[in-house]
Structure 1
Amino acid sequence: MDIIMIVKAIILGIVEGLTEFAPVSSTGHMIIVDDMWLQSEQFLTKYVANTFKIVIQLGSILAVVVVFKDRFIDLLGLNKLKKETIESEKRLKLSQVIVGLIPAAVLGVLFEDYIDKYLFSITTVLIGLVVGAILMILADRFSSKDPMIQTVDQITFKQALFIGFFQCLSLWPGFSRSGSTISGGVLLGMSHRAAADFTFIMAVPIMVGASGLSLLKNWQYFTFEALPFFIVGFISAFVFALISIRFFLKLINRIKLVPFAIYRIVLAFAIYIVYF
């Protein structure tokens, strides 16, 4: 494999890492880079290219685990030294995360074939980008100036469930998981940071499950020729997702969602110009 392919893997990893958890739709961005970077390579068949996307997505997921490692240790009850303190405090529970996962998980299983067949197109992604942007603008417009829920530990089971319903919107490509769930959390009276924290925590199990199954189905494409491409992409996605998540969490309460919504509309316009 030549140096050009390594550079392409790095760039694709950067795109995935920077966009997977920001409310800008990684799907919309990957549509652009698909034709520019993947389809031009002979050894990258459709199946190898799709496997690569799964691999770099796992790199982004690992970044979330690193950022929230203490939180996941608490959720899984693995921190024995702090167990008594954790039990005596109001803390986010694993059961609340599971409740938030149920709606999208059920719909995803029931309509997986339909989504894959009918919703993965440039037109549907454009619709998702624009409608998702409108939702984000409305969320900021009607958000409370003094949210009652300031931290993820204050989330109730009811709020977790309703955020799960908002996550169902992300089954439409281009809508963005973080864009839909953060908007939902804000509309439910949560601060942007609390909604973002819950979004990232909730994303890990559902993405690991979906990516893990896809990886098992495509294991045969981990050829000696493709392996360096996969490894470099994974590392690149991990590093830039780590940077992106930490930067996003520090700023979200201050900049809120409207700047991301404007960017999505500009992106949709750019994709429309390129493809239509």
Structure 2
Amino acid sequence: MDIIIGIIMGIVEGLTEFAPVSSTGHMILVGHLLGFEGTTRVTTFEIVVQLGSILAVVVVFWKRILNILGLSKKETDDQNIGKLSYIHILIGILPFFLFGAVFYDFIKTLFTPQTVVISLIAGGILMMAAEFIRKPSPTASTLDQVSYKQALGMGLFQCLALFPGFSRMGATLSGGLLIGMNHKTASEFSFIMAVPIMAAASGKDLLESWSYLSVSDLPLFISGFLTAFIVALIAIKFFLALINKIKLVPFAIYRFVLAILFWIFILN
């Protein structure tokens, strides 16, 4: 049964972590339906499967990550355009870490179904607004065209993801569109920013939960980790291939539907 739950939850994590639909909301809802909730074991499992999703990003963007770290020759679309560097990433993740550190205790109190419902709706409204307000001619159509100012702007929007259910991807994609990126560039920049943020957050939580791990939990954790990694690997490539075509409105509508499901199954 542990392996079955691990696979199901791994699929949910892999499909939703990097889509603008709130992986937190889906994990809570599916966990509730499976009776898999409310224990330290569940919390630790969620950390482990998130690490599987992070590994998928590293695999998809390994060449770009090596470029950013200066471990391989950088390739740009135009030699006259500023190259994406680790400085862009640092600028992008700094606001999230600062806000997260200052308001850490407060943020922990927000992990309630009510907050998730509000965040799902608010995030959906932001995504729809971003689609209608965005610039028709983006100034950043590739990663190598992203400016420091745009990196900071996207980092500030990313702070909205501190509210459970808002979705880091939904916040950053909306922000990227509003500050002059196209859908694919905003998605790719968001994916790359996710690596240090999620690795740091998951690493911290895993160290705090380490004492709760036991050998008997290995089938659950391994099945969840591997499933999340494989599914996220497929989902990322699929998402990047489609995002410029389908835009954000369908995801926003889906969030509203998910909020209704939350209201029915969790809050009532």
TM over 0.5: yes
* Counterpart Cα distance in 1 of 2:210 and 2:23: 23
**Residue 240 of structure 1 aligns to which amino acid in structure 2?**
V
- 1:116 corresponds to 2:108: yes
The alignment partner of 2:41 has SS state of helix
Q: Distance in 2 between matches of 1:67 and 1:123?
A: 35
Where do 4+ consecutive residues of structure 1 move more than 4 Å?
83-89
The residue type paired with residue 128 of structure 1 is S
Q: Give the Å deviation of 1:270.
A: 1.1
Stretch of structure 1 that moved more, 89-98 or 206-215: 89-98
Query: Which residue of structure 2 lines up, in the alignment, with residue 46 of structure 1?
Result: 39
Deviation at 1:87, TM superposition (A): 11
In structure 1, the partner of 2:204 is 213
Determine helix, strand or coil for the equivalent of 1:268: helix
How far the C-alpha of 1:107 sits from its partner, in A, is: 0.6
Give the aligned length.
Answer: 266
1:9: Cα distance to partner? 0.6
Query: C-alpha root-mean-square deviation of aligned residues, in Å?
Result: 1.7
Q: In the aligned structure 2, how far is the partner of 1:246 from the partner of 1:189?
A: 23
Is 1:236 the equivalent of 2:227? yes
Q: Given that residues 76 and 83 in structure 2 are in contact (C-alpha distance below 8 angstroms), is that contact kept between their aligned partners in structure 1?
A: no
Give 1:135-174 correspondences, 5 Å limit: 135-174=126-165
- Which residue identity lines up with residue 97 of structure 2 in the other structure? A
Whether the 8 Å CA contact 1:152–1:198 is kept in 2: the answer is: yes
* 1:133 corresponding residue in structure 2: 124
Please list the CA deviations of residues 208-230 of structure 1 after superposition, one character each: whole Å capped at 9, or x if unmatched. 00100111111122211001110
Structure 2 CA distance for partners of 1:87 and 1:258, relative to 1, 3 Å? closer
Sort the Cα spacing of 1:224 and 1:102 in 2 relative to 1 into closer, same or farther, 3 A: same
Structure 2 gap ranges (5+): none
Indicate yes or no: 2:3 matched with 1:6. Answer: yes
Give the corresponding residue for 1:195. 186
If the length of structure 2 is used for normalisation, what is the TM-score? 0.95
1:70 is aligned to 63
1:25 corresponds to: 22
Q: Give the gaps of 5 or more residues in structure 1.
A: none
The answer to whether the 8 A contact 1:38-1:49 is kept is no
* Residues 102 and 58 of structure 1: CA distance in aligned 2, closer, same or farther (over 3 Å): same
Give the aligned residue type for 2:45. Answer: F
Taking the aligned partners of 2:43 and 2:190, their CA distance within structure 1 comes to 25
Q: CA deviation at 1:39?
A: 3.3
The answer as to whether partners of 1:9 and 1:230 remain within 8 angstroms in 2 is yes
Q: Corresponding residue for 1:57?
A: 50
Q: Which amino acid aligns with 2:29?
A: I
Instruction: Output aligned runs, 1:84-123, within 5 Å.
Output: 90-117=82-109, 119-123=110-114
